[in-house]
Homo-oligomer: A and B are copies of this chain.
Amino acid sequence: MLNYSTSEENYIKAIYRLQGSDGTVSTNALANALRTKPASVTDMMKKLKAKKLLHYQPYQGFRLSQEGSRVALGIIRRHRLWEFFLAEKLRFSWDEVHEVAEELEHVSNKKLIDKLDEFLGFPRVDPHGDPIPDASGRIEINKRICLTELPLLQVAIVSNVKDQSSPILELLEHMKIRIGTKLEVKKRFGFDESMEIKIGRLPAVLISKQLAENIFVKYEG
């Protein structure tokens, strides 16, 4: 269990996110995600390769090694547990937690995190609906579908929101849509790809294509 610098951790986490379920990540994509320059990425890739955290051949992109993925899941665990703590215990709103967790995630004391997990009651998802890896790095990969693909009249539960910024939160709160909300799509309109949805017994409302694209749902409770 070596320790990695804040910078190394930010690179590892970004690669994990970009590579999805086993893709390869390019220098430019990573530089863009981290708001840094391609030359800096190449430098860091050499360092992380030397530490055996990723596979990398010059010009061929990179992907995390098994150890790299393990490290990434540890960072994501810390990030999401802190987000849960901030939202649940300190009453931060949904769009404020990410920024603070971005710093707290780098305090990597195993006991701290495991005790925090226990204190929080072993939460399964963070305030954005993203799953929290457990102490051994296991993460539940529940199959979510985008609201744009949910069959008509099929009841589903909001499990996740892609964009996690302040403006979308404002809209979702106004629409009374949050993680865990049950809803169904009544009708889709081809003209602007807007759709009419019904939440519980509330009157049906219309939501835009842009909003629907950011809402992910799952079946059952």
Is A115 a contact partner of B103 (Cβ separation < 8 A)?
no
Q: How far is the CA of A89 from the CA of B103 in the complex (A)?
A: 21
A100 touches B112 (CB 8 A): yes
Q: Answer yes or no: A153 CB below 8 A from chain B CBs.
A: no
A90 touches B116 (CB 8 A): yes
Output the least CB separation between A144 and chain B (Å): 30
User: How many identical chains are in the complex?
Assistant: 2
Q: Would B89 and A100 count as touching, CB distance under 8 A?
A: no
- The size of the chain A interface, using a CB distance under 8 A, is 18
- A55-99, CB < 8 A from B: 86, 89-92, 96, 99
Do residues A109 and B115 form an inter-chain contact, with CB atoms below 8 A? no
A104 at the interface (CB under 8 A from B): yes
Shortest CB–CB separation between residue A91 and chain B, in angstroms?
7
A116 to B92, CA, bound (A): 11
Complex Cα spacing A70 to B100, Å: 22
Closest to A92 in B: B115
Chain B residues contacting A99 (CB-CB under 8 Å) are 109
Whether A119 touches B107, Cβ cut-off 8 Å, given contacts A100-B112, A112-B100, is no
Chain B, Cβ-Cβ closest to A118: B90
